[in-house]
Amino acid sequence: MRTETFQFRTGDQPQVCDITSTCAGFLQAGDAGLLNVFVPHATAGVAILETGAGSDSDLLAALRELLPADDRWQHRHGSPGHGRDHVLPALIAPYATVPVLGGRLQLGTWQSICLIDTNVDNAVRTVRLSFITG
């Protein structure tokens, strides 16, 4: 297995960060197998979705409705409503696995691999990419 970590700056606002190019750049010519994308954080997730056509902002809007940043959460450290960030990985898993053939991600035409981060208290995220030969 080949593995490496990458840092992404997500800033101080909820963010959908397209990391597809980093994932593609990690692969080597001729690779065939599975790419696992993992976020070792309790308040972030990985999703495969269309970006740039409004789906990324639609996802953030849906998360605002499902997980409001208010005082309902029992987990209460950090910024107001931070408890919602700890529920996020139950809805958007902290990992995704993508098939790879010929060194290329086998994503659909409009699919992107995205880091989803609603935690405004942590501006830098680590993503671990692991390639398993098939």
Residue 103, domain CATH: 2.60.120.460
Tell which residue, 56, 27, 11, 9, has the closest CA to residue 132.
27
Q: Which domain holds residue 31?
A: 9-133
The pLDDT tens digits of the residues spanning 113-125 come to: 999 999 999 999 9
Mean pLDDT confidence for 21-48: 97
Sign, CA dihedral 76-81-85-91, equals positive
Residue-level pLDDT at 88 = 96
Instruction: Establish if 68 belongs to a structural domain.
Output: yes
- DSSP H/E element including 65: helix 55-66
Residue 129's alpha-carbon distances to 4, 29, 78, in angstroms, are 5, 16, 28
Cβ-contact 107, 48 below 8 angstroms:
yes
Q: Residue 78: pLDDT above 90?
A: no
Number of domains in the chain: 1
In a domain, 3, yes or no: no
How much is the mean pLDDT over the chain?
96
The answer to the question of residue 2 being in a domain is: no
pTM over 0.85: yes
Could you tell me the two tokens for 12?
A: 């101080």
Does the residue 4 lie in any domain? no
